[in-house]
Structure 1
């Protein structure tokens, strides 16, 4: 019988009571609300009337047995299933074009895997917007990112990918939510196709190696994900993390690694709907070459 996780929290916090407990290697199903907690559904429901204390609920947290600070939590995204309808909205004061836009909520249907928009249809590509572990210091609202993960809004966090989170508190306290049926890099107006659904994940506890930021593994690349109020600081943090991983894995010094990154690493934006109180989020990649993993899966 699969273990289904229910119950929601609006912060990533070491003080949150676990919604469930899991052993390393266990597979779980998370039932999620949309980012508006199911309160915005029709064209008459506008975000200017929304209480953002109810934004971005994360299902969980799950206490991972034997997880301790310094460990690494590997999270494999096995499947994402969304409901058949969601909304995309403008948010007051959010995004580069906010001054000229109306307050608008647009409900959209998904039919046979295709998002329906003004007579057009394009493929749904479900992703997880909020995912992570509890931070060691003060609680972080689920709408914000950090070294613990949180609202990273990275469209590559989809079925078949794997994330690695540095564990910061005993039990890790892992949670996820904020599904998008589809979203463009940058999330320009502040929302994707916000939608409810279910996510199947496998949680495995690994030996950490000093990782500071979340790392994403896809079929062909590795990515370090970092955030800051301004682009240069976010870029530096993500670049330093991927540089460290490449240097350790390949046995190169930092300067050779830096040169290699200029040839092979791509810098991509996850979220940049400025102006916005949420940090800008970037990812910096490294291609998979020569079957050398940047993170070795050493079970704890």
Structure 2
């Protein structure tokens, strides 16, 4: 799992930060690419990365403010011209479907693929054997959501020495043993999977939040996340301004991550009012709250690791 940030600014684009968008790539896990938010010029940002729009199969929209959705019509149109023919799923609050279909209709844009729309509400959006995605309402003046992506635990590795003790030789039978809790061999030997495998490999947990004021309930939502993406539109000295505009400060985000036992905090949606040296000073203060915290920049990429892997 890898996360690449395409836009890390807030409100309007700047020379250093485009507006909101990030990509979660899961090529090895399930050969899928998911896009979270799609601010203006997202498709231009993609041109600076190896990401292929035709590979994007799910788009999640946190809320319908322009800096999070104005890039959708252009990206969807270009996907048709870049060999994108597979079905695309779009998850977002009420209004996303109307916005997209109006823009495509007025511009007479005809897509070569089908879009399936899913209106986001609190709770599980979908779940399969590998992964579960849950949504939670945030506090931003308009419907805004956070998304929790939880990877299922995997069966631990087979232990060759344990199998050898039971007379099992390497071969296709190894996979059969791993696929069955209990298996009886031709000679009558019973193989109990948990006796011949190591500890389960714990799934990774990622939380990606839309714009929000800080509030207590979000702590349980992101609890024990391996990686949390949280907005930090304002720095600590502008707390009153953050409250006025329904946003969070970097310190508020850090305190939430600390209380929730988050392993790594990535701060984005940063106001262009702050220069890099100012953010560096703020970061030193944040590290006193939580050790693993970073202000992300456009095109930064992070591998999502399970603690201890």
Structure of greater relative contact order (alpha carbons < 8 Å, 6+ residues apart): 1
TM-score normalised per structure 1 = 0.26
Higher helix share: 2
User: 1 or 2, which has the higher strand percentage?
Assistant: 1
**Which one has a bigger Cα radius of gyration?**
2
